[in-house]
Amino acid sequence: MQVTRETPDQLIIEHKSTGIAVVALILALALCFVGLSNMRAEPVTGILTILAGIAGFFGMLALFGERNMLVLDRPAGTATLSQLTPRGLMRWHFDLADVAGAEHRITRAKKGGNHHWAALVVQGGMDAGTHNLSRQGLNNPAPKEMTDTINRWLGSDKGANTHEDNPRHPWSADP
């Protein structure tokens, strides 16, 4: 999660799930290597292993790969949250006046540790509520930094706004 543009008129924050893509690629390459090494002894098994590696790569990208973007645009008076996955593009539009700020949310992981989320708080309009900036919780300080950046840019310094909870589904930040 990173700031790609910050000016007095516009703030753009992006999150790309590159970690998932790297893990998927390493697993696919490992399966392809195993498949190639088995080609001489068992050609059918080798081909099936290679195909499983390729299918696993695209399957992991389809399930977990995403690119999220938040665009806060002062001249247009809009806030746009976009999510691009291999399954398609989803986009939410808000009036900038309805955006109250951002929250840093913390959820407990099943195996210990925490997942951190940056969430946009919208207080008016049809989509009022809390909207996570990504479907995936991160275990690094980036969500807290993005929350502080959004609040500073909006001029509503709510940097200490942190919530610990355990939502039913991580994409739906409202429990």
Between CA 99 and CA 113 the distance in angstroms is 30
The whole-model pTM stands at: 0.67
The answer to whether the CB of 93 falls within 8 A of the CB of 115 is no
User: Which pLDDT belongs to residue 162?
Assistant: 46
pLDDT tens string 135-165: 666 666 677 788 888 888 888 434 434 444 4
User: Which pLDDT belongs to residue 15?
Assistant: 82
Residues 6 or more apart whose Cβ sits within 8 Å of residue 43:
none
pLDDT at 168 over 60: no
pLDDT at 14 over 60: yes
User: Which pLDDT belongs to residue 138?
Assistant: 65
Between CA 97 and CA 94 the distance in angstroms is 8
pLDDT tens string 53-97: 888 888 877 777 788 888 989 888 888 888 887 778 888 888 888
Helix axes 18-37 and 43-64, enclosed angle (nearest 10):
180
Between CA 67 and CA 119 the distance in angstroms is 16
